[in-house]
Every structure is written in C-alpha cells, then in structure tokens.
Homo-oligomer: A and B are copies of this chain.
Amino acid sequence: MTGIDVARIRADFPILKRTVRDGKPLIYLDSAATSQKPVEVLDAERTFYETSNAAAHRGAHQLAEEATAAYEASRARVGGFVGVEAENIIFTKNASESLNLAAYAFSNATALARWGTPVDPRFELNPGNSVVVTEMEHHANLIPWQEVCAKTGASLRWLPLTDSGRLDLADLDDLIDTSTKVVSVVHQSNILGTINPVAEIMARAHAVGAVGVVDACQSIPHMPVDVRALGADLVAWGGHKMLGPTGIGLLYGTSEILQAMPPFLTGGSMIATVEMERSTYAAAPQKFEAGVPMVAQAVGLGAAVAYLEKLGMAEVAAHEQELTAYSLMALSGIPGVRIIGPTETVDRGSAISFVVEGIHPHDVGQVLDNMGIAVRVGHHCAWPTCRRFGVPATTRISPYIYNDQRDIDALVEAIAHAQHFFKVAS
C-alpha cells in the first residue's frame, strides 16, 4: 500500500462521478492521452478570470501586474517541480509545440546562416549531418525532425527496438557519430511504457557535440523527474497530462542553449527593439513566448503542480508501480492477450499496450467503452512502433492517481466479455 488514497483523490475530480453509455460508472484509463483535472485546477483558472485577468507582460495597471505576477509565479512553480529556475521554463501550447520549437531552431538557423545572419553553428545542418531519434517516438518527436531533414538535407537515423520493447543500444556509438547534430529521444514511451536510459544517450550525444533533446511527456506527470539529471539541453512535456488545463505545454532549456537558439514564434513581447527593417530579441524565456500568453492555463497548471506536490511524486510513482505490477500480471493471465512492450515493471511506466487475438483493437475498445471503460485504441501516434511489432494498432490502458486495482479488475472482466462476444478462444 502506498500513501495514495485513491478514494479521496477521486473526490477531487468531478468528472469521475459521471456515468457513460446508459448509466455505467466511468472508469477512466486514458490518462496518457490527457489526464482529468481536480477541482483545485478549475478553481484556480476561474478565480484568475474573475479577479486578475489581463494581458501579462503588457500593461502597467493593477490587473496587468497581478496577471504578470500570477503567470510568472506559475513558471517558478513548474521550474521548482522539475528542479530548475523559472527562467529555464518556456510556456508553449502543448508538448508538440515544445518539440517543434526545438526542431525549428535547426531549420531556422540553417536558413538564416544561408543568407548571412550569424548563427550558432551547432544548429546549422548540412547534407552530411544526421539527426537521431528512436523507433518508439511519438509522432510529435518524429515528424518535426523528418521536416528538419527535408528542409536542410540532413538525414534521419533511429535507434532500433528489441522484441521486448526496449531500446537496442548495441549500435549507439555508430548511430550517434560525429555527423550527428541533434539527438531527440522519448523518456517514457507512450505506447510501450518503456522508460529509456536517456542520460546515457544524452551523454553520447554530448560526446559528439550534438544537442540533446528529451520528450518527457509521459514521465514528468508520473514520477519525480529532476530534468537536469536527464542530461539534456532541452526537455519537452505537456501540462494537460499532469492534471493541468488543456492548451499549455512546457519546454525546459539550459540557459546556454536558450541563448544560442534563434527565436521560433516571433511578434509582440519577445522583442528588445523593433524597427521596420530589423528587430532584436529579449532574453529567454520571453524570447520564445510571442503574443499574449495562456495566462489562465499557466495559473491552472500551477495549481496542478501544487496538487501533485501535495501528493508527493515519489508516492505517485509508487502507486503507479504497484498498479503496473498488478495490471501486467492480470493481463498476462488472460489467454489470447499479448502485451506489446516490456512485461516486467523494471524501467517501465503504467501505460500498457496489448492486443487480443482475433479481435481488432478498435472492437476491443468498443466493448470496453460500452462497459464504461475509457481506453485508447489505435496507433497512439506511434505508428512506426506498431509496425515494428507487426500490429496495426493496440489497445492501451494508462492509469493515474485516481485509478486502483478495481479498475483493472473491471478491465479484465471486460476483455473476457469481448472475447466471449466475438467468440474467440479465451
């Protein structure tokens, strides 16, 4: 038993009281797509709108002061949550924007250099250069790099996977070589649940002088993460998967890298001086935050962080670890069910993908949904990973702090029901 009191936590999440599909109690097992939000987060956003709403960093009146203070307090809070200074945290709209921001540093610098703007050569890519990802990336950490390669002539490489769903690092030193200018890898896979040895990979990246990027979307919401210990230059994740509002994402960067990167979105609030012909830019984080920011969402995210800190991330991780062990055991026990990804709890998180022999994942999901159980089916934005394992799609559960073993028991029962309904061996 961990220190997480699921019943008490559930009381903080209004949506968990609703029913679905003709009165079935909702069992939400899709937190890897997006988490639910506690009432504290909803209250924080609303209170902001009702008392301090104004354009942060854009006015001198009292509301603007309060909005700016609230926005910046949230930045500091998020920074503290992952062990860094406020000024190393950039607010984006989602993790995809954060990863695109990182990727565009390379295509932008390359284009700027071509026309004579001095840039940090680390970001300049040529046909001889390579970009390295893994075969288990979410599309958000794959396609931006494909686009970078298409725009610069660089080539994309990837670390392959073992049959058990781990990174195969046998050729690490060959794949990441002196041609490599950026290495971007997922910390915890959203489809396999695998937790990768990112510090080791980042060390190799730095050994060849490459910039290191980590996609921490599925790790930071679920376990204590000291982002500096990841050894990366840039770390991206989202707010909506960690109890925060939709519409807010995060990018951590070392001061050094943020200073070296060209801006991404440009416009108001990210400038130092502006003339018709040219502009100069503010220091990070402002440099990367053009336009009126998502202040209310930042405030909501601050409340989400406070909620998680109150629970304690070590407790959250322990709770999920326990649930993962239980789920792996329960699912392995069902004949015809195959887990796609590591089958032991070592270095794996609570998101578990599986296929049920003879039933398409979409149909599995439908039966589960009909019984009130919300899971995700499909390729989970990791289509190449599905191909690697020879499946068109999977069914995925992804529990969080408001789930317990009874939810897994219900899942097991529902899978048996699906097998019965579709008349496949069970």
Contact = CB atoms under 8 A, between A and B. Distances in A.
Chain A residues touching B, majority SS: mixed
Contact of A15 (B49, B139, B265, B368): B49
A100 B266 contact: yes
Contacts of A30: 54-55, 59, 61, 63-64
A20 B383 contact: no
A150 B115 contact: yes
Given A146-B277, A274-B383, A276-B156, A240 B100 contact: no
A123 to B, nearest CB: 13
A142 B274 contact: yes
Interface string A110-136: 111011010000000000000000010
A291 B273 CA distance: 33
A151 B100 contact: no
A265 B296 contact: no
Interface in A24-67: 26, 28, 30, 33-34, 36-37, 42, 45-46, 49-55, 58-64
Given A37-B53, A53-B15, A140 B267 contact: yes
Interface in A254-281: 263, 265-269, 271, 273-279
A51 B142 contact: no
Interface string A394-416: 00000000000000000000000
A291 B94 contact: yes
Interface of A: 14-15, 18, 20-21, 26, 28, 30, 33-34, 36-37, 42, 45-46, 49-55, 58-64, 92-97, 99-100, 107-108, 110-112, 114-115, 117, 135, 138-144, 146-147, 150-153, 156, 158, 238, 240, 245-249, 263, 265-269, 271, 273-279, 290-297, 362, 365-366, 368-369, 373-379, 381, 383-384, 387
Given A54-B374, A59-B374, A60-B377, 4 more contacts: A37-B53, A111-B152, A115-B152, A275-B383
